[in-house]
């Protein structure tokens, strides 16, 4: 089981993750893209990165809006370094 991050570790990490926040115990970021096609392309990029890191986010798409939620299931749904690693990777490919 992975170690859960402390509240202070989470707050410190959020300082370097533009637009990410914690909601209901999960890291969350919403993206507004140009259109549905751009949203799907972004989702595919996120999926490729998630596969490489073997850590899969919750993804919700509504036309041009994509919402990502991250938590570590094998840590009881808490936030771990694994979530921060994925958020940073997503941030490096994100359109915003």
Going from N- to C-terminal start, the domains of the chain cover 7-93
Specify the pTM. Answer: 0.93
Our measurement of the distance from residue 20's CA atom to the centroid of its chain's CA atoms, rounded to an integer in Å, reads: 8
User: What is the reported pLDDT for 38?
Assistant: 97
Alpha helix positions (H), the chain: 7-14, 36-53, 81-93
Average of per-residue pLDDT values in the chain: 95
Give tens-digit pLDDT for 56-96: 999 999 999 999 999 998 898 999 999 999 999 999 998 76
Q: Which fold has domain 7-93?
A: Gyrase A; domain 2 (3.30.1360)
Between 46 and 95, name the one with better pLDDT: 46
* Res. 32: pLDDT tops 90: yes
User: What is the reported pLDDT for 74?
Assistant: 86
């Amino acid at each position: 089981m992975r170690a859960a991050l402390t509240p202070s570790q989470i707050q410190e990490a959020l300082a370097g993750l533009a637009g990410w926040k914690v909601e209901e115990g999960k890291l969350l970021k919403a993206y507004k893209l140009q259109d549905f096609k751009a949203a799907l392309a972004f989702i595919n990029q996120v999926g490729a990165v998630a596969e490489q890191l073997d850590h899969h986010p919750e993804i919700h798409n509504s036309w041009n809006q994509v919402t990502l939620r991250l938590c570590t299931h094998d840590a009881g749904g808490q936030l771990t370094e694994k979530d921060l690693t994925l958020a940073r990777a997503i941030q490096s490919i994100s359109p915003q």
